[in-house]
Amino acid sequence: MWQRLRNWFMRSRWGFEWRYLRGQTPWDTGITPPEVMEFLAKTPPGKALDLGCGTGTNAITLARHGWDVTGVDFSPKAIHKARQKATASGLSITFYVADVTNLSMLQGPYDYVLDIGCLFALSDKGRRRYAQEVERLTASTAWYMLYAWLPRPWRGGLWGISVEEVEALLGKAFTRERYVIGQEKGHPSAWYWYRRK
């Protein structure tokens, strides 16, 4: 009983906030992944949206490469730190504390949407709302890049999202250009590159 309650708490938004407060955030590496750096090296800047932006590492990298960036995360602690980091870097980035399944405060179109580790953590209903928001907010020919866990056992359950589930969510509005299966700490994960139809 207590273990189930603990697992639920750690997977909830309150669990993430607790870990930010305690500084136990292994996902917050402070390094922009090479997949994103490769994309930035060959793509002219435009308007970008970082979903599940955490403390702003990737939003700051995007802004340094000339992008007009908006970052969204449900953690007030993470967004507070992101704003501090952006100010210290002399960059103007808009950050929102918000749920990625309800982005009504945002107006598109965005030319690039980045999600590193956010979509797969949502419920099925949340994933569908998220996909609708991404579709609403993206320009024609916009890029959407996703990093997500493939299904794996985690904290007493199965967590992640399959390649087929991602395609079912996004395939109506986006064309998958490629995906790469890899590993994170011995567990399967994937990078996806989608282009808006």
pLDDT in tens, 115-125: 999 999 899 99
Rounded distance between C-alpha atoms, residue 19 and residue 24, angstroms: 5
Burial class (CB in 10 A: 0-12, 13-18, 19+), 124: exposed
Which amino acid, residue 175? T
Render pLDDT for 33-62 as a digit per residue (tens, 0 to 9): 999 999 999 999 999 999 999 999 999 999
Q: Which domains can be identified in the chain, with CATH numbers?
A: 28-196 (3.40.50.150)
The series of mean pLDDT values per 10 residues for the chain, 197 residues long, is 47 60 68 97 98 96 98 93 96 97 96 96 95 97 97 79 98 98 91 98
